[in-house]
Structure 1
Amino acid sequence: MLERRVNPVGRAATASVPRITLGGLRLAVLDLEQTANFMIDMVFPQRRLNRPLYLTSANGEVLARCSTEPMTDRLFRAADLINADGQPLVTVSRFRSKTPLPERVATTDLFHVVARKAQAAGLTFYMLGADDAENAAAVASVREQYPDLKIVGRCHGFLRGEALRAKVAEINALAPDYLWVALGVPYEQAFVEEYTPNLSNVGVIKTSGGLFNFLSGSRVRAPRWMQHAGLEWAWRIWLEPRRLFWRYLTTNPRALYLLLNRGRSTDIGGTHNQ
């Protein structure tokens, strides 16, 4: 996929969305409801683009990785819209910008708002990612919560080569309004870059990280007070210390430095580059 700065389709589609630069990335100044409404408006009552709109999310870890991993940085800058999925980003924006981020737009919360609206509008989902058992459990949970939501297909995230290309062709033939891709950073962003040209019948692609784990119930969200205090990372370390302790030990200090030093005090309109 072309970077948005040289992609007139992406620029035009998101021109009305205000953004601020924080930690080195330009983030959408939208709350949860506004983000969901934007996603609905892109496909209902009719598709507004002839290719998928690409939305992704950034937290402190993403900011840190983008500052040290050129490929990850490029993949995120190719997004049509980046949401702030981290309470520390919201908190810092309140004293770094005249137009602060209104709230954290966590994909785990956004999914449910979009699902309710999509169910009412008769729009369709495809869910790609996680292992097969986790994927199946997530889809079963969503179908139980939203019995009238049209989920046109699902697949685990471990296909490669020709099998993956065949699955992409199948997804495109099903033409879902929303493709939720949960492969983890930066694999899901790399998937979007490689396969967007083959997914012209998809309305919106939203990268989703560990969303399916929360939908299936295999992982539990942090208590609400920890989320509001920006301490969800500590909760996750407590649950998965071996996997996450070193990651957060190395990325959190860098993310804090970037948030405090790589932002702009002036607000940026939606028509500028990522």
Structure 2
Amino acid sequence: MIMSINLPLLYQQKIIGTRIDGTSYQDACDRIEKWVLTQTACYIVAANVHVVMMGYWQKNYQQIINNATLVTPDGMPLVWGLRLLGFKRQSRVYGPDLMLAWCERAEQVGIPIFLYGGTSTMLNKLQINLSQQFPNLIIAGVYSPPFRPLTTEEEESDRQMIINSGAKVVFVGLGCPKQEEWMSNQVEKLPLVMIGVGAAFSFHSGEVSQSPRWMMNLGLEWLYRLSAEPKRLWQRYLINNPCFVLLFAYQLGKHWLNWQKTRV
């Protein structure tokens, strides 16, 4: 059993101040399963350039990310960053694919999940698609919260609904930064594993198309999404991406200079 296995220590590295963990789909699923079996309340963040840059501009948000139990390298620039900073074998752990990887594991071991976020229509489509792909997956409940800020009473009602469902893992699809803030606020009150998966609900419901895999592998997913939703995403990509390149180049330069000094 996973519960009896001592999982390896994670390689961790900060990229522009945000912690990124050297995990994989297998490793992440092993950890999630162990946290479920040991009843560990925690949250997982799938970090990309947008998350890192939001953390750079908003230090409170960066602290939320750094407090997560696991932060996966969701975007290829972060994968390349980890490799350049010393973790040569790092691969991508993409939020939407992590969702499917955990659904497969949850189906095998009988761990119920909850879907929190999106719209009611999206959740209906998502449930159907997940049930077709994973026939024995236990979807204990789904809920589409209002898009406005929740009242204290509404938050408590949502927590109780999730607990009463019997779910052990909650996929949170509220978008960045709302989902990370929600998970951080709930972690001491909701005794479950929470996984922020961003646009995964939109993708797996079929409401939004994913970029081709070859574009993902080349780090060009942003270009595909920008062309599909220019009004919503232009600021995210055309401002954050160049800033990320400059800031990471500065960090990498310092890293290499320090490495050279240790060789002298």
Question: 1:258-269 to 2 correspondence within 5 Å?
Answer: 258-262=247-251, 265=255
> How big is the shift at 1:114?
1.0
Q: TM-score, normalised by structure 1?
A: 0.84
Q: Which amino acid aligns with 2:235?
A: W
2:43 to 34, 45, 54: 54
> How big is the shift at 1:224?
1.0
Task: Give the structure 1 partner of residue 3 of structure 2.
Answer: none
Task: Give the structure 2 partner of residue 169 of structure 1.
Answer: 160
The CA deviation string for residues 214-256 of structure 1, in whole angstroms up to 9 with x for no partner, is 1100111111110000000000001101111122111101111
Q: Give the conservation status (yes or no) of the 8 Å contact 2:7–2:31.
A: no
1:72 alignment partner, SS class:
helix
> How big is the shift at 1:14?
8.3
Q: Give the conservation status (yes or no) of the 8 Å contact 1:30–1:101.
A: no
1:20 alignment partner, SS class:
strand
Task: Give the structure 2 partner of residue 196 of structure 1.
Answer: 187
State the structure with more CA Rg: 2
How many residues in Structure 1 have an aligned counterpart in Structure 2?
A: 247
Q: Give the conservation status (yes or no) of the 8 Å contact 2:82–2:90.
A: no
> How big is the shift at 1:29?
0.8
Residues 14, 171 of structure 1: CA spacing in aligned structure 2 closer, same or farther, 3 A cutoff? farther
Task: Give the structure 2 partner of residue 114 of structure 1.
Answer: 102
Q: Which amino acid aligns with 1:63?
A: V
> How big is the shift at 1:108?
0.7
1:146 to 134, 138, 151: 134
2:230 to 236, 241, 246: 241
Q: Give the conservation status (yes or no) of the 8 Å contact 2:119–2:144.
A: yes
- What CA distance in whole angstroms lies between the structure 2 residues aligned with 1:16 and 1:236? 35
Q: Which amino acid aligns with 2:59?
A: P
Question: 1:124-143 to 2 correspondence within 5 Å?
Answer: 124-143=112-131
Q: Give the conservation status (yes or no) of the 8 Å contact 1:87–1:229.
A: yes
2:187 alignment partner, SS class:
helix
Q: Does 1:186 align with 2:177?
A: yes
1:155 to 130, 137, 143: 143
The percentage of counterpart residues that share the same residue type is: 24
Residues 58, 256 of structure 1: CA spacing in aligned structure 2 closer, same or farther, 3 A cutoff? same
1:214 alignment partner, SS class:
helix
Q: Which runs of no fewer than 5 residues in structure 1 stay unpaired? A: 1-12, 267-274
> How big is the shift at 1:209?
0.8
Q: TM-score, normalised by structure 2?
A: 0.87
Task: Give the structure 2 partner of residue 9 of structure 1.
Answer: none
- What CA distance in whole angstroms lies between the structure 2 residues aligned with 1:172 and 1:29? 31
Answer with 204-213 or 72-81: which moved more: 72-81
Q: Which has the higher contact order (CA 8 A, sep 6+)?
A: 1
Query: What's the RMSD between the two structures over aligned residues?
Result: 2.0
2:78 to 84, 89, 94: 89
Residues 234, 29 of structure 1: CA spacing in aligned structure 2 closer, same or farther, 3 A cutoff? same
The CA deviation string for residues 130-165 of structure 1, in whole angstroms up to 9 with x for no partner, is 111112211221111111000100001327222332
Q: Which has the higher helix share?
A: 2
Answer with 256-265 or 245-254: which moved more: 256-265
1:27 alignment partner, SS class:
strand
